[in-house]
Amino acid sequence: MTIRSADPGRDAAACAAIYAPSVESTPISFELEPPDAAEFSRRIENYSATHQFLVAETGGEVVGYAYACRWAERAAYRWAVETSVYVGSGHQGEGVGRALYGELFERLRAQRFRVAVAGITLPNPASVALHERLGFEPIGALRDIGWKCGAWRDVGYWQLRLLPDAEDPPAEPLPPRPGA
């Protein structure tokens, strides 16, 4: 398996295909319509410009992806990121998510991001287990926050400290390294 930076033209259709079932038939994503390849291309470009968007490839096939983006728009949040990982249905349980997140966290640390936050629609024991195995700690939940698949859904939040507490004020986050 190879983990690499996503390419908008090359990887958008595969990422859209991996994501679509989560939108169409589960409450995992709160989107109601799956984004097409053009929208995924835009997202890859957007997130890669300031954070990271990675894909996992096996035998030339994209089998999963992970990305980080801004946690919130206010300037004081600029050291925090929101992370997500999706793995194709035929490759779940093979360590793809763990490998993607491992590389993602290393790159985010190099950019000087300090905290990663993950929102998980509940229940989702597989996603909770993955995040907790990687060191995320539960920090709370928003109850009945979204209506999807015929029911109100909770979203739990988990947090991972990427870097230890440092100088005051902390150094600014860095842009992604070209070609990383």
Domain 2-161 class in CATH: alpha beta
pTM for this predicted structure: 0.94
In whole angstroms, what is the distance from residue 111 CA to residue 29 CA?
27
In whole angstroms, what is the distance from residue 139 CA to residue 132 CA?
12
Q: What is the pLDDT of residue 177?
A: 81
Reduce the secondary structure of the chain to three states and give it as a string: CEEEECCHHHHHHHHHHHHHHHHHHCCCCCCCCCCCHHHHHHHHHHHHHHCEEEEEEECCEEEEEEEEEECCCCHHHCCEEEEEEEECHHHCCCCHHHHHHHHHHHHHHHCCCCEEEEEEEECCHHHHHHHHHCCCEEEEEEEEEEEECCEEEEEEEEEEECCCCCCCCCCCCCCCCCCC
Residue segments in the chain with a per-residue pLDDT below the cut of 70 = 166-167, 179-180
Q: What is the pLDDT of residue 164?
A: 84
- Tell me: the pLDDT tens digits for 39-67? 999 999 999 999 999 999 999 999 999 99
Q: What is the pLDDT of residue 123?
A: 96
Q: Answer whether 19's CB lies under 8 Å from 29's CB.
A: yes
